[in-house]
Amino acid sequence: MTPFLEALLLQSGYNASLVAIGAGLLGFAAGTAGTFLFLRKRALVSDAVAHATLPGVTLAFVAMVALGGDGRNLLGLLAGSAATAWIGLVLVDWMARRTRLSEDAAIGAVLSVFFGIGIVMLTVIQTMSAGRQAGLESFLLGSTAGMLFQDAVVIAIGGSLAVLATYVLRRPMTLVAFDPVYAAASGYNVRQIDLAMMGLVMAVTVIGLKLVGLILIVAMLIIPPVTARFWTDKSAHVIWYAGAIGGFSGYVGAAISASARALPTGPIIVLVAAALFLFSLLFAPARGVAAAIIQHRQFQRRVHLRQGLLSLARSEKILEPYTIRVLKSEGLARADGVPTDAGRAQAAKIARDERRWEIAREIHRDVGLTGRYDGLTPIEDVFTADEIAAFDAHLGGPVAV
């Protein structure tokens, strides 16, 4: 077996297995918790939260050493990081609501100030005698070398709670993300729901700090939902697809990094997620780049088909060779451009729908609709029966060709 396959099947030893399982669970939790941040268009808040954990980690270390305890106690460090992350979150929220600063400016300010404080503290600690072996700098980019069973337990319990909370709050969070004004008018407390959503993100950030580090945890929160969005038009599905993508990235990324000596875990996990994102961007049906190109080709063909049929309906000669090829391949015309019976029938329908569309464009003057006018989308797909009846009232009887 190759080292990668061994790692994938949890055959690479105790530590590697622990890391792979932990990263998978963390990825799943981060993907689900990040979904609503993405849907609420506040993805960058997670960046501020993540950077605001650093002062907390360092302060907690100093406090625990000062009290004579073990400065590396994981729960203590995570509690400290959660405390300052929460302060950062509340500050962003307060600045965006109460001052003239926009949210992105507030995020920038909080992110850099908190991170700056954290780095200063980190440098000071590393010059202290007690701090030399602390390894606090691993919180920046994550570290798997010394992962303990208790670290995996923290991720498993914290991650499960975060996923459970996401599930319980999915309806209010969907409503607030889609239509906050309606949510508020229906009696939901939008601010509390937003804080709960960001609290979830904070929780996942804190439990993921040790493994992937504060700089890259943001990617685990945001890339999975963005990737999932390519594959579905239902928010309820985005949540679980994002969880699956995050979990897969975490597990496979950890396995890859375990299979080689010098590959860092956090960055590899992010790269796996990024690869899935890139694949989705290019090849997702409907929303992907390739689909857009194919759709454009089909669109071109439809335009020629419609144009050809219109020419037939008006008994005009078709000059464009591509148009004749398209008509011929559909069995609507012969190679010399003379229509078949099927071609005549289609031409009559298209001429009528064309006149309906003309009236439709006069009546419905909005962009969403003119965008859907591509000539071959049946008019029945775009308009309701009563709308079409209204067009026909303007038209008069069927048109003979």
Partner 1 sequence: MRIVSDNKAGVSLATDVGAFVEPDYANDEMPLSIRGMTVSYGDKPAVFSLDATFPPEAMTAIIGPNGAGKSTLLKAALGVIPRVSGEVTVFGEPIENTRNRVAYVPQRASVDWDFPTTVIDVVLMGLYRGVGLLRRFTRAQKAKAEDCLERVGMADFKDRQIGQLSGGQQQRVFLARALAQDADLYLLDEPLAGVDAATERAVIEVLQSLKTERRAVVCVHHDLATVRSYFDHVLLINVRKFAEGPVDTAFTAEHLHATYGGRLAATHLNQLDLAGLPA
* Minimal distance, residue 48 CB to partner 1, in Å: 22
Q: Does position 232 bind partner 1 by CB under 8 A?
A: yes
| Closer Cβ to partner 1, 321 or 371, answer by number | 371
Q: Does position 178 bind partner 1 by CB under 8 A?
A: yes
Which of these ranges, 22-30, 84-92, 212-220, 357-365, lies near partner 1 under the rule CB under 8 A? 357-365
| Closer Cβ to partner 1, 229 or 352, answer by number | 229
Residue in 109, 390, 395, 401 binding partner 1, rule: CB under 8 A = 390
For the chain, the first-to-last Cα distance in angstroms comes to 71
Cβ(6)–Cβ(12) under 8 Å?
yes
| Closer Cβ to partner 1, 79 or 161, answer by number | 161
Q: Does position 348 bind partner 1 by CB under 8 A?
A: no
Q: Does position 336 bind partner 1 by CB under 8 A?
A: no
Q: How many whole angstroms separate alpha carbon 149 and alpha carbon 156?
A: 11
| Closer Cβ to partner 1, 125 or 176, answer by number | 176
Which of these ranges, 22-30, 124-132, 174-182, 216-224, lies near partner 1 under the rule CB under 8 A? 174-182
Q: How many whole angstroms separate alpha carbon 277 and alpha carbon 225?
A: 10
Say how many residues touch partner 1, by CB under 8 A: 39
Q: Does position 238 bind partner 1 by CB under 8 A?
A: yes
**Locus of tokens 């439809």:** 302
Instruction: List the x/- string, 9-28, binding to partner 1 by CB under 8 A.
Output: --------------------
Which of these ranges, 79-87, 301-309, 348-356, 362-370, lies near partner 1 under the rule CB under 8 A? 362-370
Cβ(255)–Cβ(4) under 8 Å?
yes
Rounded to the nearest 10 degrees, how much is the dihedral formed by the CA atoms of 107, 112, 118, 123?
170
Q: Does position 181 bind partner 1 by CB under 8 A?
A: yes
Cβ(202)–Cβ(85) under 8 Å?
yes
Q: How many whole angstroms separate alpha carbon 243 and alpha carbon 161?
A: 14
* Residues found in the chain: 401
Q: Does position 98 bind partner 1 by CB under 8 A?
A: no
- For partner 1, the binding residues in 77-96 under the rule CB under 8 A are none
| Closer Cβ to partner 1, 64 or 226, answer by number | 226
Q: Does position 271 bind partner 1 by CB under 8 A?
A: no
Q: How far is CA 123 from CA 54, 60, 72, 109, 119, in A?
A: 12, 15, 16, 21, 6
Q: How far is CA 395 from CA 127, 206, 287, 374, 390, in A?
A: 85, 65, 37, 21, 9
Q: Which letter does DSSP use for residue 67 in this model?
A: T
* Minimal distance, residue 356 CB to partner 1, in Å: 13
Q: How many whole angstroms separate alpha carbon 387 and alpha carbon 349?
A: 18
* Minimal distance, residue 284 CB to partner 1, in Å: 13
* Minimal distance, residue 108 CB to partner 1, in Å: 24
Cβ(211)–Cβ(22) under 8 Å?
yes
Question: What are the DSSP E strand ranges found in 146-273?
Answer: none
Q: Does position 242 bind partner 1 by CB under 8 A?
A: no
The dihedral region occupied by 333, where left means phi > 0, alpha psi between -120 and 50, and beta the remainder, is beta
Residue in 1, 75, 120, 168 binding partner 1, rule: CB under 8 A = 168
Footprint of partner 1 (CB under 8 A) = 39, 41, 168-169, 171-172, 174-175, 177-179, 181-182, 184-187, 229, 232-238, 363-366, 368-369, 372, 382-387, 390
